[in-house]
Structure 1
Amino acid sequence: MSRQRPRTLAVLTEWAAERYGGAPALRFRSRAGGGGGWTDVGYTALRDSVRAVGRGLLALGVRPDDRVAILAETRPEWTRAYFGALAAGAVIVPVYPTAGEEELAWVLADSAASVVICEDAAQAERVAAVRAKLPELRHVVLMEDGGGDAAAQGARGGDASGEGLRRGGPAPLDEGGGDAFSSGAPGRDVLVLDALPGPAPVEELLARAASRTPEDVCSLVYTSGTTGPPKGCRLTHGNLAVVDDASAALLGSEEGDVLYLYLPLAHVFAQLAQQSALVQGRTLCYFGGSVRDVVAELREVRPTHLPSVPRLFEKVHAGALSAAESQGPEARARFDAAIRTGLEVAELRARGAQPGGALLAAWKAAEEGLFAPVRAAFGGRLRVAITGAAPIAPRALEFLRACGVPVFEGYGMTESSGVITISHPGGLRPGTVGRPVDCCEVRIAEDGEVLARGPGIFAGYHGAPEATAAVLDPDGWLHTGDVGAFDGDGFLRITGRKKDLVITSGGKNLAPAPVEFALQQSRWISRAIMIGDRRPYPVALLTLDAEEIAAWAEREGLAPLARPAGHPTVRELCRKAVDAANEQLSGPARIRAFAIIDGDFTVADGSLTPTLKVRRAVIAERYASEIDALYHHRPIKSEK
């Protein structure tokens, strides 16, 4: 299905301004002073601020296909920098703000970034620390100059001249155009996004943007690198366009729609959400900067579209369940009955029927006491919530469906421009990731690997032909590395990763993903890692959900636990969770012993990638003594 859209993302803001004019394009909360109201920026104003950035980058000498890196959290300046650089003909290199020093240096060096746009002085200092490893880097630009809220300044001051707000902030680049980081320290000769010097003529920028083609590379998005250095996926303007079109045809759009975005824009999933919102004339609303405030902001913003990872939805479910349990067994029983009622009504309505009699009466009671308040927690207008990156807990999905919150799972990877399959209002089957989108052909290889082919598949890894050949065969099939299967109606179910396969010393082949997913259905468990390669049987390392354990301790009248992992009752909660998970698993895959790890796995400690994927080798090495101990103790009695 084709629809009206710009030829490339380089001209998107020009195209959108012609169609949507003063309609609100961006909505954001001031980060200065700890909060405040929401500010709207129209499509025409967005175009003007993007022009200012693009003209400034041209004046810095940015050439077609130069790499411009963005190192920042999700915020409106990220969007302005992204489209400004694309208009200047550059290739975007998104960098996770949580990336460690080694990964930061690798991505900037491997991509040969000539410009890095940093969120603030703290991020610029990190670039300065690795500056000696970046021979191609010419300029560092700050989104904030320390003189106030950058988003609001850009909304007011992003004029077409590019002459922004200096106010005694960091000095502009000298007239000679030397290295903007020659001093090696932020604060001297560092440029500011709204004060780039000597802007090029607007006609030059428009000509540069118009010269970009769908076949040109739009961005180098680096993969997580769970087993080695990240690889840069070359995504073209055409790749991203066809995937957006295919998804939009399924999810729909209406006037006045608002998309709330808290996911990192360094991830292709968030970039697709940004693109989709602006192509369709939605308002793109950014979170205020703190993940803790997301639920409160959803009530204020009242979005119609919400891309998210499963954790947000699972936390809402856990909170509602915890509230019911705090009122005693009868309240928990009413909660469970309400969910059963909601699911029965949802099934009826999906078939075009309506409830009546006792069922309708029960639904109305549940609607008033549970369903409506849950929908209100998401703002009350949510029509489409898309979740991906990891499977969502079935109980959370059932809870939200019963409450009337439409959550749809999707599946994709950076190499597929973010989307391979997607669930949608006309095609939903719980436990699956939907059917393939129209632009993607999918088949299952003999060994169970999911293969994908189509115009959304990437153009290869940057500077890595051997790595490209390993995943992209001569017939154009992308070998995803995921294992899955189709059901009789064409819905895809993902069951694990090929490279994570565990082979026990007895020769049993075990996929960790289903085991870990079963364990993580427990509200007490944050992460579960299955261990068992070349071992006699599988064991697990568990981390605790700190919020759930703290709430449990408070309900039990316990003092705050200094070390929950060592508390005997907490261990018993986890033992019961392991037993429950084992009931769902085949005999060889059942967990025979477990250890509870203090704290959680994090990006900062190197056990998770910036996209929150587990670095299994790192964890296995770090907790080698705990793992060895599990094989020297009596296995738990959960081997039914």
Structure 2
Amino acid sequence: MALNHDTSFLDRMQPNVAVQFRDRVQRSPEREAYRFPRGEAWESVTWKQLGERVEQLAAGLLALGLEPEQRVGIVSNTRYEWILADLAVMCAAGATTTVYPTTNAEDTAYILGDSECRIVFAEDEIQLAKLRAHKAELPHLAKVVTFDPPTGSGQAAANGDWVIGLDDLAALGRDHLAAHPGILEEKAHSIGPDQLATLIYTSGTTGRPKGVRLRHRSWVYEGEAIKAQDILSEDDLEFRWLPMSHSFGKVLLSVQLAIGFPTAIDGRVDKIVDNLGVVKPTFMGAAPRIFEKAHGRIVTMTAAEGGAKEKIFKKAFAVGLEVDRLKREGKPVPLPLKVQHALFDKLVFSKVRERFGGRVRFFISGSAALNPDIAAWFNAAGITILEGYGMTENAAGATVNHPEQNRIGTVGPPFPGSEVKIGDNDEVLLRGPHVMDGYHNLPEETSKTLTEDGWLHTGDKGSIDEAGHLVITGRIKELFKTSGGKYIAPPAIESKFKAICPYVSQFMVFGNERNFCVALVTLDPDAIAGWAAENGMEGKSYADIVASPEVKDLIDGYVDELNGHLNRWETIKKWEILDHDLSVDSGELTPSMKVKRNVVESNYRDLIDSFYA
């Protein structure tokens, strides 16, 4: 078992998020809290300005009759208004229910209905239309507050008094505060640590999503536990694009409240690279897919230039990886290698760092496994990626690597004040203040996942290394056995391919109870379009490009390279490129971009079976 014994901060923890937020506003009134895009420019607000706006909105919710622990939905992309809404709900003693903006209308209605939301913050007309279409299934929903005003003639009349704007809610709040001065301070001190703060519905790869009940204690603990590890300071600058509907995005808010650093926020994924250049953050949280895409983009762009540039690039990373390996093993770097490394740092690595704004101290990777080869590649360029681990059921954070002891291939040591142990079948178990209260309205599911003495079954297979760092080897349910009796861990093979092939989007391995492994492949549309333009296929559709003999030969070479790194029984004997990339809209990815393996396997059952015919 791994246990982090530094628990002194637990005695100083605030009782709830509302008090934690109010305390941050009082301590850092004139410091920057957020910056966010307004048209082409960025607008900035201080903690004092944020506090005033949140107070108005929280009081507005009370004016609408919100009671303690009653649910308030947020259906929106990541943006400044999302933060305002979430903080207002928790300061009013309500509980936020998060919904991905990409969630279809039926599932949106299910989540808001199951959680019995009384009020919903809806981003725009698109999200409002989902609620309007399923209004009959939402008997508890009394009011919708929009971030962007509804557009189109007759919309105001169509909405009646059911829909109001954010400014309308703030105006209600100002009136309520005038009539009830001190109400929010009183409300904040009435919230107990175990009171419900958030319902996050896990996207799930099978069946209906489950509502994870997270307490105020969980979020306060997460922020204070990160603060206690001295990873971040008030002088850092975060860039946040992650979905706030996901626990990874939510935990970054908790950390910000605990430490007080400013955050630049913009959830538009297509703007990430541009925004990094403008914002120049010192850190950012991201899912592994972002690093895979960045790695693939840089490698393919350099390959397209060819000639001396490509040779220098490849030599630079060969040197960088060797220097990085020696340093991690505690060995001296020979002087000739040091000189080469310094030269390549100026010629190559500095330019890679500049793509991410030039000031990044580290990235934090979570929500899925990060390939160690990709982590090492970034490390060689002077960009540290700290991999962490957790799940929605424990408020996102359970372990994380540290800048001064970043053991690539592990997800770091446990947070202080929490426990990690390895149970039966090498399952990772977690215990601590961050663990959920249970699943909403699902007592049987809760009893399967939580033990009576507070251990959370994660469903992940892992081990603890000699330094006390957790190593995750895959999902227990994803492991399969070939007909020859050999166990296969598909995620390990899949992540290896992603590190080798810069054009891949998804690589899915199958072979349960079969005599060999096969794979379904999808390519990154942008990356393969760039390749096509260089190879006489510019303007062709994705389906035409991936069906071409040239692309099949290209991928065949990468599969051969992959097989050279695998055990004989793991090698991919047959594979096929699908005519489309997986997407949330197709139902083959969850909103947090995880592959729904069972859906893909079901959709392509005939193709998979044909590999064995």
1:574-606: CA deviation from partner (whole Å, max 9, x where unpaired): 222222222232232222211110111111111
TM-aligned CA deviation for residue 56 of structure 1: 0.7
* Counterpart for residue 143 of structure 1: 147
Counterpart pick for 1:29 among 30, 37, 56: 37
Is residue 295 of structure 1 aligned with residue 282 of structure 2? Answer: no
Q: 1:282 aligns with which of 261, 268, 277?
A: 261
Match of 1:590 among 553, 557, 571: 571
Q: Which residue of 2 aligns with 1:606?
A: 587
Equivalent AA in structure 1 for residue 489 of structure 2: A
Query: Are residues 1:62 and 2:70 paired?
Result: no
What are the superposed Cα offsets for residues 314-363 of structure 1, whole Å, 9 maximum, x if unpaired? 23322322233223354333222212333444456668998674333312
Corresponding letter in the other structure for 1:409 = E
In structure 2, which of residues 281, 284, 305 is the aligned counterpart of residue 306 of structure 1? 284
One-letter amino acid of the counterpart of residue 84, structure 2: R
1:145 deviation in Å?
1.6
Confirm or deny: 8 A CA contact 1:278 1:284 kept in the other structure: no
Q: Distance in 2 between matches of 1:569 and 1:594?
A: 15
Counterpart amino acid of residue 427 in structure 1: Q
Q: Residue 572 of structure 2: SS of its match in structure 1?
A: coil
Kindly provide the amino acid, as one letter, of the partner of residue 306 in structure 1.
Answer: M
Match of 2:249 in 1: 270
User: Structure 1: where are the runs of 5+ without partners?
Assistant: 148-167, 172-182, 633-640
Does residue 1:75 correspond to 2:79, yes or no?
yes
Q: Which of the numbers 525, 540, 549 marks the counterpart of 2:519?
A: 540
Q: Mark the CA change 1:561 to 1:449 in structure 2 (over 3 Å): closer, same or farther.
A: same
Cα RMSD for the two superposed structures: 2.4
Query: For residue 297 of structure 2, what is the amino acid of its counterpart?
Result: G
Is the contact between residue 224 and residue 613 of structure 1 (CA under 8 Å) also seen in structure 2? no
More helix by share: 2
State how 1:327-476 maps to structure 2 within 5 Å: 327-328=305-306, 330-346=308-324, 357-476=335-454
Structure 1 residue 170: Cα displacement = 7.2
Q: 2:507 aligned with 1:528, yes or no?
A: yes
TM-score (norm. length: structure 1): 0.88
Match of 2:216 in 1: 237
Separation of aligned partners in 2, 1:349 and 1:444 = 30
Deviations 1:286-339 (A, max 9, x none): 12x531221111111111121111222223322322233223354333222212
1:580 corresponds to which letter in structure 2? E
Q: Match for residue 567 of structure 1?
A: 548
Specify whether residues 19 and 622 from structure 1 end up closer, same or farther in structure 2 by C-alpha distance, changes over 3 A only: same
Deviations 1:43-87 (A, max 9, x none): 111000001111111111101110001000111100110011111
How far apart are the structure 2 equivalents of 1:384 and 1:327? 29
- 1:610 to partner: Cα distance: 0.9
**Deviation (angstroms), 1:619:** 1.4
1:39 maps to which of 33, 43, 54 = 43
Which amino acid in 1 is paired with 2:163?
V
Aligned residue for 2:229?
A: 250
Kindly provide the amino acid, as one letter, of the partner of residue 443 in structure 1.
K
Q: Distance in 1 between matches of 2:299 and 2:418?
A: 39
1:625 aligns with 2:596: no
Q: Does 1:123 align with 2:102?
A: no
Q: 1:113 aligns with which of 96, 117, 122?
A: 117
Q: Give 3-state SS (helix, strand or coil) of 1:428's partner.
A: coil
Question: Conserved in 1, the CA contact under 8 Å of 2:149 and 2:165?
Answer: yes
CA–CA separation in structure 1 for the residues paired with 2:453 and 2:258: 32
Query: What are the ranges of 5 or more consecutive residues in structure 2 without an aligned counterpart?
Result: 1-6
TM-aligned CA distance change 1:404 to 1:116, over 3 Å: same
Taking only the aligned residue pairs, the percentage that are identical comes to 36
Cα deviation 1:439-473 (Å, max 9, x = unaligned) = 32111123111111122111111111110111111
Give the direction of change, closer, same or farther, for the CA distance of 1:351–1:544 in structure 2 (3 Å limit): closer
Does structure 1 conserve the Cα–Cα contact (< 8 Å) formed by 2:203 and 2:591? yes
Tell me, in whole angstroms, the C-alpha distance in 1 between the residues paired with 2:53 and 2:93: 16
Letter in 2 for 1:19: R
Cα 1:351–1:609 change in 2 (3 A) is closer
> How far did residue 38 of structure 1 move?
1.0
Q: Deviations over 1:473-494 (max 9, x none)?
A: 1222111001112222222221
- Highest RCO, 1 vs 2 (Cα 8 Å, sep ≥ 6): 2
Aligned equivalents of 1:488, 1:84: Cα separation in 2: 44
TM-score by length of 2: 0.92
Determine the C-alpha separation between the residues in 2 that align with 1:186 and 1:98. Answer: 23
- Whole-Å separation in 1 of the counterparts to 2:134 and 2:142: 13
For 2:523, the aligned partner's letter is: L
Q: Counterpart in 2 of 1:103?
A: 107
Counterpart residue type for residue 467 of structure 1:
E
Give the counterpart of 1:134 among 138, 144, 165. 138
